[in-house]
Homo-oligomer: A and B are copies of this chain.
Amino acid sequence: MLILITYDVSTVDSAGRKRLAKVAKKCTDHGQRVQNSVFECILDSTQFRRLKYELEELIDKKEDSLRFYNLGDNYKKKVEHIGAKETYDMESPLIL
């Protein structure tokens, strides 16, 4: 299933930027970065539970916000894009 992960943190300080980098690394290990703080990951239920747990360990729960959206298995028609192409493909190959 497609799990969309969005992450919000103040990246004004270096600690926040480091946390964002760690979250991004963790998510792109499991999928694709499509916007600065938006990641699309193809996961099964077990992988999803594990990734959630691992991300929870990385963030500062008082400062940061993580949201997960489950788009299910038939997600292709549920996603639309307008504007500039994502520039993150080169950094993190799409794994589907």
Chain A facing B: main interface SS = strand
Contact of A69 among B55, B59, B71, B84 (CB under 8 A): B71
A6 to chain B, nearest CB (A): 5
Cβ contact within 8 Å between B67 and A79 = yes
Cβ contact within 8 Å between B35 and A67 = yes
In addition to A7-B35, A35-B65, A70-B77, 10 A-B residue pairs with Cβ atoms within 8 Å of each other are A6-B6, A8-B38, A35-B37, A35-B67, A36-B37, A37-B37, A38-B67, A55-B82, A62-B84, A68-B79
Give A contacts to B, CB under 8 Å: 4, 6-8, 34-38, 52, 55-56, 59-72, 77-86
